[in-house]
Amino acid sequence: MLESRRTFQMNPIASNLNAVIEKQNPHVMEMLSAIGRDLFFPRGILSQSAEAREKAHRMNATIGIATQNRDIMCFDSVMNSINDIPARESLTYAPSFGIPALREAWRRAIYQKNPSLSNRSVSLPVVSCGVTHGISTFADLWIDPGDAVILPDMMWGNYNMILALRKRARLQHYPLFDADFHYNVDGLAQAVDRAAQTADKVVVLLNFPHNPTGYSITGSEGERIAAMLLKTARKGTNVIVAMDDAYFGLFYTDDALKESLFAKVCCREPRLLAVKLDGATKENFVWGLRLGFITYGVAADDPAAVYSALEKKTAGCIRGNISNASHLSQSILLKSLRHPDYAREKEAHFHTLKQRAQRVKAVASDPAYAQAWEIYPFNAGYFMCIRLKTVNAERLRRHLLNQYGVGLISIDDHHLRIAFSCLDEPEIPALFEIVFKGVNDLT
């Protein structure tokens, strides 16, 4: 494998992209993984087909789709289910970058949802096949085997699969909460400092609203985290801050930071690269459409040049993996974003989830349950967690499922995750009564 690496010849297109990045911000060039440095967006068939779409007014025999009478060949049985989205916007290949109009619309939405970005430049988002694919693509571009990735001890299990198993990164954990159940900013800072002492590059992955606890940081916590990350970068360590914003916008308390931490660190320090990984999956309640976005924020004299190069590398990674995200899904989302009822619908669903979260907090905090569990702070997203005091979480999970037909997720020996997102409000008191009964059964 080492021999093949030595004999590998970098494509000239990749070399040109690297030269652009090196000129504008050499620290970003240092941060790229070995694969990331080699990545490029190929010319050949794709670029020739793009040229043909513009100029082949007579006949276009470039792309691998079937046409009939100058229109897309398709089944009526398929199109009858799609209704008002024509075949050219649903059945054909989308660009590996994503539909241009959707990318522009999502970037405008990022600025609207993060007012602190108003005077800063961010890349045009590249469309991924869901946030999971976005995280995997991010890892391909920026993480080498052995790189340190800082994560809390309570985390989404798929990070292990993507980062530790596939990329062979060293996951370094810190306790999510301190002894007083506040977000452990000091623990995060200590983990970053330890990693920076032995590595030139540190990757910090932050997920707010958090899965599995449903916690989102406060404004003051966000300021402290941003200051710590900027300080680390200014001391000479290359810092990559990736924000997994899958549940962005679902903030239920006044003190929760309403912006992404991306907005706090973006474009502020040459040695700090900010990457926003978000999507319509949870934000827009379209889980099965599998649409995510990868957006960069970097300090450079000419950020547009850096962004163009990074977008091409990112799209090249997607091209060599899944080719492109679903054209139909992208068209559906774009039509939704442009619909006059979009804002009203989103606000209505937000309030439904907020009411459930408030009801869960009131019920789960009942002193009658204090002997059985304590709840972790939660103020956002889809989930909340309880820490069991007397029984094993996996044993209780199986008991609740087998005896009462109630399904929950055990995270480890002590913690259960409850997705209140899929509970109607009247079901909430009954759920916790059943969990309490299950605890008593086992004790």
pLDDT digits (tens, 9 = 90+) for 97-154: 999 999 999 999 999 999 999 999 999 999 999 999 999 999 999 999 999 999 999 9
Q: What is the pLDDT of residue 424?
A: 96
Instruction: Judge whether 60 lies within some domain.
Output: no
Both 283 and 359 in one domain: the answer is no
Q: Which of 282, 310, 338 is the last residue of a domain?
A: 338
- Min mean pLDDT across 4-18, 66-80, 342-356 is at 4-18
Of the chain, the percentage scoring pLDDT greater than 90 comes to 88
Q: What is the pLDDT of residue 69?
A: 85
pLDDT at 70 over 90: no
Tell whether omega for the bond before 115 is within 30 degrees of 0, i.e. cis: no
Q: Which of 292, 317, 338 is the last residue of a domain?
A: 338
Q: What is the pLDDT of residue 46?
A: 66
Average pLDDT rounded to a whole number, residues 286-315: 97
**What pLDDT, in 10s, does the model give residues 190-224?**
999 999 999 999 999 999 999 999 999 999 999 99
- pLDDT higher for 78 or 354? 354
Instruction: Give the whole-angstrom CA distance, residue 120 versus residue 297.
Output: 9
CATH number, residue 381? 3.90.1150.10
Q: What is the pLDDT of residue 1?
A: 44
Q: What is the pLDDT of residue 6?
A: 54
pTM summary value: 0.95
Q: Which amino acid is at 224?
A: R
Average pLDDT rounded to a whole number, residues 234-253: 98
> How many structural domains comprise the chain?
2
| Confidence band, pLDDT 50/70/90 cuts, at residue 67 | confident
Instruction: Judge whether 58 lies within some domain.
Output: no
pLDDT at 4 over 70: no
Count how many Cα atoms sit within 13 Å of the Cα of residue 134 in the half-sphere of its side chain. Answer: 29
Strands 415-419 and 383-388: antiparallel
Both 232 and 358 in one domain: the answer is no
Q: What is the pLDDT of residue 47?
A: 67
Q: Which of 338, 362, 389 is the last residue of a domain?
A: 338
Residue 228's alpha-carbon distances to 109, 115, 204, 215, 242, in angstroms, are: 28, 22, 12, 20, 15
Residue 239's alpha-carbon distances to 18, 68, 114, 124, 393, in angstroms, are: 19, 52, 22, 21, 36
Strands 383-388 and 373-375: antiparallel
Q: Is there a contact between 289 and 280 (Cβ–Cβ < 8 Å)? A: yes
424 is in which domain, residue-wise?
A: 343-442
**What pLDDT, in 10s, does the model give residues 23-40?**
999 999 999 999 999 999
Q: Is 364 exposed, middle or buried (0-12, 13-18, 19+ CB in 10 A)?
A: buried
Written as six digits, the tokens of 225 are 């985290």
